[in-house]
Amino acid sequence: MTVERVAPGAVEEALQPPRRRSGGGPPGEPRRVAYLYLLPAFLVYAAFLLYPLARSVQLSFYRWDGLSLGTWVGLGNYVDVVRDAGLRAAFGHALVLMVFYAVVPLVVGLVLASILNRAKVRGLGFFRTVVFLPQVVAMVVVAVAWRRIYAPDGTLNSLLSALGLGSLTRGWLGDYTLALPAVGFIGTWFETGLVTVLLLAGMGRISGELYEAARLDGAGPVREFLAVTLPSVRGEIAVALTLTVIAALRTFDLVYVTTRGGPGNSTSVPSYEVYHRAFELGQVGSAAAIGVCLTIIIFVISFGITRIGDRDTTR
Amino acid sequence: MNPRRPRLLMVVGVVGLAAATACAPGSGGSSTASTPTPGATVSTDVAKAGKVTLTVWDQEVRGGQAAQMSQLNKEFKAKYPNVTIKRVSRSFDDLKTTLRLALSGTQPPDVVEANNGRSDMGAFVTAGQLRPLDAYAKAYGWEARYPQSVRQYSSYSPDGKTFGQGSLYGLPQVGEVVGIYYNAKKLAAAGVQPPKTWAEFESALAAVKAKGEVPMMFGNLDKWPAIHVFGTVQGRTTPADAVTQLAFGRKGGSWTTPENTKAAQTLVDWVDKGYFEPGFNGQGYDPAWQAFSKGKGAFLIAGTWLQADLQKAMGSDVRFMLPPGQAADAKPVATGGTGLPFSVTSKSPHPDVAAAYINFITDPHAMEVLASTGNLPVADTAAQQVSAGLQKDVFNAFGTVVKADGLLPYLDYTTPTMPDTLGAGLQDLLAKKASPQQFLQRIQKDYGDFSSTNG
């Protein structure tokens, strides 16, 4: 399009400042000056996010101990990431954690939220606070507390013994099959509150008329939930999934404090490997490669989730 | 059109461009620091150095550690008014993660407390960031003061590849040794004497077990505690020089020997016989020794660093001994080492003053200060006046083992990846997920891969 083509009227044209005319386009169309407004935010974004990201990508192509001169190894670090069975297992553990961090809280959260929403219980605010409370506590504190609960002489085992289930007691975090689910369950406990509160907010927005209409059509509570509640909170579900999936994939503090990746390597996760390699082993390049892989995986998964959310809300 | 696509492309473009055009990491001048030549002339005269500010990074943040450091710093400043000490102290973990960056900067601290292992001190030596102290060792007579079994923990070859030999890169203040704490009351109740030989120790474990008590407190959730227990057992089965060769990651050793297999098998036998507290792989290290201090279990294999806490909780009930040998008069051998050594950075403009400072905080008077503030001094240990009971046991034990040159290095020094390989391997071994042979093969692979490429 050219500047000359737009000529809505001679008077108007005369009134328009020349600056605006040279920008071109009808009012409301994006103009180049907009980039200027974006610049300050972009600079901050670039300095604290894009530059470090670019540096990480760059570092991942080197073998570097963080001290002396690095050597270029091309995709060598990435090949090692794929070849290393221990690392593949770590990514696998992160996927298992995703179930505990995202899927289980979502199911539990949906049930809890719809009960709280339907029952119109007294003291809803109180219950909402209780459910949300884990989110307020720092993850390290959560991890230390749960470490005590899972200890061989800890609360969980005492409880089991008191219930006559003494045969089930064990050092939970030292058990090869149960350590990862045990760690995952902490995540479930932690994330459920967030998901529930998000969904509650979403359900609160649903118009009562929809439920009325459903009831008139003879829908029971389950049908109501499937036909009205669930489709209405798809946006919230997408947000909840994005947040919890990212939390699952970047789990670090929980594993660092509870198990340090043990017993054996049965609870190792990629983020822990990044820390371990960069700060303990001095393999900065390899750590950066893992970090970049993790970033890509998180990006792809959360991109997929938001796409699902977008499609549902625009339908 | 999806507005995301061009933005994504742009990000990829920016990232790619930066990656392609930037220069290699570490080329910012830091790595070009020339390695100072050992043997250059040095001065021990601090007063002559003029007005000097010495920046010291240490990790002496807790109780007695912090007390001795501030007292010695004060005394140093009183003795040499021309020197100002700028002290930066951080916890061990914080120091470990920040030191790397600080050393590669243009103005690193003058004196730093660097962890002994390959991934810390070794890497710093390789990068030419620490100054060899051999000339100062000669000038101050450190070699006569510290036996080789103490100095080895801060010795590296100038290329940083050989650990335990070569030039001296630092001096520690305190020592530590892994031995056996025992609850004297529990032993008396089980009708056993404190063991004088390894066989007596194992029969004492059986006697306590027969009484229905937990023979040995052990918490291995943190992965590393089993390394100390394994090292203690290995010290009985495997010759000391073979352990030293393996632990320093030197070429030519082997983990898969009958002696090491016997050590691994012993641990498995102890698990089978129920000598450890059940569920140990799920129990934390701190809760385990805290339970011991509250009267659970008869024995605890742990380091001298627990002395103050255990003494406070248990009083005269708790005693300490070196792990006994096969015979009562066998040479004392125990896993142990030193606290973090103090080193001088290559870029420090005042190496003479820095070395004088290190000498000051490790001289005979400093050792007295260390003992009086509840630390275990690395030198003159047996000569210190301390209260009878546990503290005396600990001082005697360390003095004895150092005098006999019987300190064995921590096994996780072997290679940079060994703490993890060994820690996870021992968890597998103790949980019977791996046989002693499989366990040792795994360790051997880590050791072999490293030592063959390390030259």
Per-residue pLDDT at B34 exceeds 80? no
DSSP state of B67: H
Cβ(A262)–Cβ(B427) below 8 Å? yes
Average of per-residue pLDDT values in chain A = 85
Per-residue pLDDT at B394 exceeds 80? yes
Q: What is the pLDDT of residues B283-295, one digit of tens each?
A: 999 899 999 999 9
Other beta carbons within 10 angstroms of residue B140's beta carbon come to 21
Whether ipTM tops 0.90, in short, is no
Alpha-carbon distances of B270 from A51, A257, B86, B229, B283, rounded to whole Å: 54, 28, 51, 11, 17
Taking the Cβ of residue A68 and every Cβ of chain B, the question of whether any pair is shorter than 8 Å is answered with yes
**Global confidence as pTM:** 0.83
Closest by alpha carbon to B46, among B72, B71, B82, B78? Answer: B82
Q: Which residues of B touch A148 (CB under 8 A)?
A: 287
Taking the Cβ of residue B30 and every Cβ of chain A, the question of whether any pair is shorter than 8 Å is answered with yes
Three-class secondary structure of residue A188 per DSSP: helix
Closest by alpha carbon to A24, among A49, A48, A2, A52? Answer: A2
Other beta carbons within 10 angstroms of residue B196's beta carbon come to 14
Taking the Cβ of residue B290 and every Cβ of chain A, the question of whether any pair is shorter than 8 Å is answered with no
Task: Look at the alpha carbons of B378, B383, B386, B388 in this order and tell me if their dihedral is positive or negative.
Answer: positive
Pure H helices in B190-298: 198-210, 225-237, 240-247, 258-272, 285-293
The one-letter code for the residue type at B100 is R
Cβ(B311)–Cβ(B391) below 8 Å? yes
Overall average pLDDT of the B158-183 stretch: 93
Nearest chain B Cα distance for residue A175, angstroms: 7
DSSP state of B45: -
Closest by alpha carbon to B51, among B18, B4, B85, B17? Answer: B85
Q: Which residues of B touch A281 (CB under 8 A)?
A: 119, 416-417
Taking the Cβ of residue A71 and every Cβ of chain B, the question of whether any pair is shorter than 8 Å is answered with yes
- Dig out the tokens for B121 from the structure: 């001190």
The burial of A17, by beta-carbon neighbours within 10 Å (0-12 exposed, 13-18 middle, 19 or more buried), is given as exposed
- Dig out the tokens for B131 from the structure: 């100054």
Nearest chain B Cα distance for residue A262, angstroms: 7
Contact between B433 and A50 using a beta-carbon 8 Å cutoff: no
Taking the Cβ of residue A45 and every Cβ of chain B, the question of whether any pair is shorter than 8 Å is answered with no
Q: Which band of pLDDT confidence, cut at 50, 70 and 90, is reported for residue B352? A: very high
Q: What is the pLDDT of residues B306-340, one digit of tens each?
A: 988 899 899 999 999 999 999 988 999 999 989 89
Which residues 104-123 of chain B have a CB within 8 Å of chain A?
A: 104, 119, 123
| Closest-approach residue (CA) in chain A for B128 | A68
Cβ(B102)–Cβ(B108) below 8 Å? yes
Cβ(B226)–Cβ(B263) below 8 Å? no
Q: How far apart are CA A26 and CA B261, in angstroms?
A: 83
| Closest-approach residue (CA) in chain A for B103 | A67
Cβ(A86)–Cβ(A265) below 8 Å? yes
Contact between A175 and B281 using a beta-carbon 8 Å cutoff: yes
H/E stretch holding B83: strand B83-89
State phi, psi for B296 to the nearest 5 degrees. -100, 130
Q: Which band of pLDDT confidence, cut at 50, 70 and 90, is reported for residue B240? A: very high
Taking the Cβ of residue A86 and every Cβ of chain B, the question of whether any pair is shorter than 8 Å is answered with no
Q: What is the DSSP string of B398-431?
A: HHHHHHTT-EEPPGGGSSTTHHHHHHHHHHHHHT
The confidence score (pLDDT) of residue A159 equals 92
CB contact burial A168-205 (16+ within 10 A = b; e otherwise): ebbbbbbbbebbbbbbbbbbbbbbbbbbbbbbbebbee
Q: Which of B14, B103, B282 sits opposite A150 (nearest CB)?
A: B282
The confidence score (pLDDT) of residue B27 equals 65
The residue that leads in pLDDT, B372 or B8, is B372
| Closest-approach residue (CA) in chain B for A70 | B25
Taken in order of first residue, the domains within chain A and their CATH numbers are 2-43 (no CATH), 76-313 (1.10.3720.10)
Cβ(B156)–Cβ(B121) below 8 Å? yes
Q: What is the pLDDT of residues B399-441, one digit of tens each?
A: 999 989 899 999 988 888 898 899 999 999 999 999 999 999 9
Cβ(B155)–Cβ(B164) below 8 Å? yes
CB contact burial B306-339 (16+ within 10 A = b; e otherwise): bbbebbebbeebbbbbbbbbeeeeeebbbbbbbb
Per-residue pLDDT at B103 exceeds 60? yes
Three-class secondary structure of residue B101 per DSSP: helix
Q: What is the pLDDT of residues A82-116, one digit of tens each?
A: 998 889 999 999 999 999 999 999 999 999 898 88
Residue to substitute from B27, B420, B433, interface A, most A β-carbons within 10 A: B420
Q: How far apart are CA B377 and CA B368, in angstroms?
A: 8
DSSP state of B18: H
Cis preceding linkage at A263, omega within 30 = yes
Pure H helices in B294-409: 307-314, 351-360, 364-372, 390-403
